[in-house]
Structure 1
Amino acid sequence: MHFDVFNGDADGIIALLQLRLAEPKDAQLVTGVKRDIQLLEKLSVTLGDSVTVLDISMEKNKAGLEKALAADAKVFYADHHKSGDIPQHPNLDAHIDLDANTCTALIVDKLLNGRYHTWAITAAYGDNLIAKADQLAEDAGLSSEQQAQLKELGTLTNYNGYGSKLEDLHFDPAVLFQALLAYDDPFAVIADQSSPFYVLQSAYQQDMDKALAIKPQYQSDKLGVFELPNEASSRRISGVYGNLLANQSADSAHAVLTENSDGTYTVSLRAPLNDKQGAGDICSLFPTGGGRAAAAGINALPKEQVSAFIEAVEKQYA
């Protein structure tokens, strides 16, 4: 049995897309909403099995990884999140790069020698590595119109991954991956009027219009905090909305707080684009928080801790 384990956002989906376009495999797909990152815990592997793991923190999946290796499964692991100590094991092929200006799809792109480079650029746009993606696109000779198309497809693919449960999403990430696998080239997705691109484009605009109508709950020179109501549309838009805010004001951090049904908040934090560090450290101060230097989150921040969260962000970027 082979397992493809991947984050349900643009980076995870497109990282796997490149690998399976290059080397098709009959695999059991293991994924979920973007914040469902402890995916290796769901596996039951045995001797002779193999696992591909993409865009989920090794540190957060240490127990599942060690269990898979103990079962003598072969594991290919590519990621750009916190890894912790990487196990030294002959069955582990690890490709970890914590650079704030890379993503898993770009790591895979290098391993494949740029075979599906436009897909990798699409993923970089989706992961909000806009400057990096722009440079890669220019180096590849893409026109400004083509860059805009890849940026929109990446953004929409990423948008689809946000939600507290699969029912919040327009496409199960496994279904979206399988749909996109039919296209060698991202421009072919956009050219096909029946592709998922157009479903997501319409839904994204409706959700974004709701978010843009909301005024900041807190605003300073270093931080903007926006609170979204307990609705599926809020959960879907929270991450890409945070990216949009970050790109509008590169010297400021931005936090999008989405109210959960239990009264806590799901938090999406973006570090200032001109100072892409610290977000993961801030969110890790809170029990359900974590992430990477440029972008991180908290799954359940109690309302009484919002002030402490704001204080931590202000202190980090003072």
Structure 2
Amino acid sequence: MEKESTTPNPRAHLKKPPWQIALTFFTKNLVLLLLLLLLSETILRLLFGNKGIYSIGLGRRTAEETKSFFQTTTKMMQVQIEAADRKIEKEIVDLRNELNERVDDFDFVYRTKLRDLGENVQSKIRSLIGKEWIWNNKSNNVLDGFNFKKRKDEGFDGDMKGYVKEMIEKAIEKHAADGLATIDYAVASGGGMVVKHSEPYNLQNEIHLFALKILQPSFGEPGQCFPLKGNNGYVEIKLSHTIIPEAITLEHVAKSVAYDRSMAPKECKVFGWLHPDSKKMVLLREFTYDLEKRNVQSFNVWEKGYAVNMMRFEFKSNHGDPTHTCIYRFRVHGYEPHSLSSLMPQ
């Protein structure tokens, strides 16, 4: 038995729309009719001659019928084409409506899942805080990691629920307290100010308003910095109070939101002096700002016990940008002396 051919038809997938089929049908029939009319006219001319009255009447009648047929056919074709256009337009509108409905459904499902996830996380946190701890060997090991004896000395009475709650509240309070929970004696809102700096980048060479940005919270927003020209420079700051400095903090934009961190300071020095009693600067700390660590980095001062109210921050290099260096925030920490007997050496 002969097998049927399995050769695929290359035009099997090219299905024409109805209006194209109708147009093709009318066109073929019109051509066939014209051929028949031409053939009939030729036969009549051969039989009756060009002067026959019958032939002339038949020719006129044939011409009128042909004209009428053309008009009728044209109207039918227009009707078919308009119907096809309306159908296509309706299908496009239906497709657009269906797509909008699917987008709305997806948005609703996404927002619902996101809300459920948030509620689930909150529920688990409440469950963790409210759960009664079972004291066993594993619990004791966990407490050892918290330095249980030290916590008892600080007032921990064994109430784990209260202790966890207190830890969370302290973390929130620390975040609200400028992120470090330590006084910043250079902050502009407290009276700190920039009195001198090296040449700015693309700014006039004067004490520019942008300089104040390094003494204000940047809230981690990229670009909210004071740009200085080149890969080395300095900024001199008058503190809000005369203090005994204990540490300084340098902040740059976080890696997670930075476009480019090559303009961050790298090799840095910090000097201090008491103005106007002393013009001699003392090196308080030399350090390297490390991009692989947190974006807020603190460094303890080396020379302790000196009272200062002026600071000079210098950077000798940055992390690769040859055109400018950006300083986001500079902070100074310490305590106010009871007297000015601890002056810097003359």
**Length-normalised TM-score, structure 2:** 0.24
Q: Relative CO higher for 1 or 2, CA cutoff 8 Å, sep ≥ 6?
A: 2
What TM-score do the two structures reach when normalised by structure 1? 0.25
